[in-house]
Amino acid sequence: MVQRKFQYILMGAGLTLVVVLGTLAILLLPAQASNTIGVRTNEQSAATRLVVEQPTADVVSGNEHVEVIYTATDVEVAQPVVVNVEEQPVSTDLGTVENPVTDVTKIIAQVQALGEIYQANVLGKSGWFYHRYEDYIPVEFLSNTGEIDGIPIAELHPDDTMIRQQWLLIDASGQSSQKVGYATDQEGIIRGRWAVTSGMWVNLHMIGASPDAIREAPPRLDRVTYVEDLIGILEAVQKDPLLSATAWQEDNVYILVLKARYEPPMTFVNINHAIFEGAQSIYTFDLNSGAIQQTEHLLQNVDGNFIIGERLTYLEQGYVNELPPTAAQIMNEATTLAGDAE
């Protein structure tokens, strides 16, 4: 039996792609991690709407003049005008929950089609790309010591559910060069602040507590599109007998389930008294916009029961003309710290 460390990097490594990369790092290919964990940026079904070239305001986050790409319809924000967009052809036979598609080649084609719809509406622009999402992670899984670098976990992650907001400075191809974000608890108190600037990762909440609070940023930051990474995972599924994929349509969404068997079974030091034989990740796509609405990552114990490791609910995405004051302040502080660290 293999023991792994089920931990998160508390750097606010935000993404729209956390949904994809989280699957590899947390579930399908769990890797050894240091005993230092921090808050990672990193979905409940929420219908999304696709909107292009329509300025509106986000009364929740404080952004003004947001060009919304999509917003969850059950979120209390100013309602944008929905416009028609050119949709790519999608398969008419997407399977059902009773008879799902298991042919990975067909699933890849459908994900590719959905990705093309989404990319047509987010690429070709440049500027600050904003996204807000609900991140559910059981607090008990974040640390097996009750603290992170000497800081009580309750100070950094007091609730199972946090709201994360992030802004990525991207070019027309969707590549990011800078980012800034913060996490709030259920009371609206900021519990984590982070930025990538001047080629450095800066975790402002861990300054003075962790030697990794300021470190060199990875060469590739987050992208605003998901298709390349997710198709890469599906191609790996085709080659590995321990991995499988199924997909089907429910109403106006497309659901993709990736499963992994652990041979031999494994344990995680942050989850006591449990042996796991597998895991699965569930992706929910809006068929109209191609946007990912929700991801859910689960572990399966040897009794066949599943526990949720993380659930992401995407609430809003769009372009903003400039950073709002809180994000701008975080970026300014991080830039100063990054410069001092050089």
Give the distance from CA 184 to its chain's centroid. 16
Nearest CA to 156 out of 167, 145, 166 is that of: 145
Question: What per-residue confidence (pLDDT) applies to 146?
Answer: 85
Question: What per-residue confidence (pLDDT) applies to 177?
Answer: 83
CA distance 36 to 22: 18
Which CATH number applies to 2-341? 2.50.20.10
Which residues, in sequence order, are bridge partners of residue 68? Answer: 318
Q: pTM value? A: 0.76
Question: What per-residue confidence (pLDDT) applies to 339?
Answer: 85
Nearest CA to 122 out of 307, 297, 292 is that of: 292
CA distance 195 to 198: 10
pLDDT tens digits for the chain (342 residues)? 655 543 332 222 222 233 333 333 334 433 222 222 222 322 222 222 222 222 233 333 445 445 555 555 433 332 322 223 344 445 558 999 999 999 999 999 999 999 999 998 888 888 999 989 999 999 988 887 888 888 999 999 999 999 999 999 988 888 888 999 999 999 999 999 999 999 899 999 899 888 889 999 887 666 778 888 899 999 999 999 999 999 999 989 999 999 999 999 998 877 877 899 999 999 999 998 899 999 999 999 999 999 999 999 999 988 898 999 999 999 999 999 998 766
- 177 near 169, Cβ under 8 Å? yes
- 46 near 315, Cβ under 8 Å? yes
Question: What per-residue confidence (pLDDT) applies to 67?
Answer: 54
Helix (H, G, I), strand (E, B) or coil at 157: coil
Question: How far is the CA of 234 from the CAs of 41, 44, 228, 239, in angstroms?
Answer: 24, 23, 10, 9
User: Taking the chain, what is the end-to-end CA distance rounded to the nearest angstrom?
Assistant: 43
Question: What per-residue confidence (pLDDT) applies to 171?
Answer: 87
Question: What per-residue confidence (pLDDT) applies to 36?
Answer: 23
Question: What per-residue confidence (pLDDT) applies to 35?
Answer: 26
CA distance 61 to 77: 9
Domain boundaries, the chain: 2-341
What token pair was written down for 293?
A: 């609405």
Helix (H, G, I), strand (E, B) or coil at 193: strand
